[in-house]
Amino acid sequence: MKKVLMVCLGNICRSPLAEGILKSKVNTSKIFVDSAGTAAYHIGNLPDERSIEVAKKYGIDITNQKARKFTVKDFDTFDFIYAMDKSNYENILMLARNTNDKEKVQLILNEIDADKNASVPDPYYGGNQGFEDVYKMLEQACERIENKLA
Ligand code: 4NP
């Protein structure tokens, strides 16, 4: 079973969408998908209402998710760890114990544009359009990930 972890800061806006989108594309009995945040602010919370709404608009229910914090154990559990932005990426790498851990971590948008090192913008302080934009980027990236894992 391949295991994929989506990581953002709060685990309430971006990574829950990435988790929901990838789950909608793969056989979840063969590929395990989860998400986490590098910060502890929202542990136990549902995804942000605006993420729930944009996912619902595209037929995906993410209301079964609950925020949790990324832990060093996630390096043992997961094969692929996707960071939404550069800050998340650096925070995850700081916890890596060895090169094997480090090699699991990638910026998710590099699946679309390999060397661009682009970030999925944090939509938390913006409006609904930000969530729509994030959804579209993650939809494209998850399509690539699905092809890669198949
Ligand atoms: P996320 O968005 O990292 O995509 O879940 C954020 C959620 C909460 C906060 C920042 C970003 N916050 O500062 O509480």
Pocket test for ligand 1, best of 6, 7, 8, 9 (most atoms within 8 A of CB): 9
Q: What is the mean pLDDT of residues 54-67?
A: 98
| Axis-axis angle for helices 14-25, 49-57 (nearest 10) | 30
Are 120 and 109 within 8 A, CB to CB?
Answer: yes
Asked whether 56 and 80 are in contact (CB, 8 A), the reply is: no
The CA 61 to ligand 1 mean position distance, Å, reads 20
In the predicted structure, residue 150 carries a pLDDT above the cut 90:
no
Counting from 1 in the atom list of ligand 1, the atom nearest the Cα of 88 is: 3
> Residues lining ligand 1, judged by CB closer than 6 Å?
8-14, 37, 41, 122, 124
- Sorted by where each starts, the structural domains of the chain and their CATH numbers stand as 2-149 (3.40.50.2300)
Q: How confident is the model at residue 4 (pLDDT cuts 50, 70, 90)?
A: very high
What is residue 37's predicted lDDT score, i.e. its pLDDT?
Answer: 98
Question: pTM of this prediction?
Answer: 0.98
Active site residue 68: no
Query: In this predicted model, what pLDDT tens digit does every residue of 12-21 receive, in sequence order?
Result: 999 999 999 9
The pLDDT, as a whole number, for residue 106 is 98
Closest CA to 136 of 53, 12, 50, 21: 21
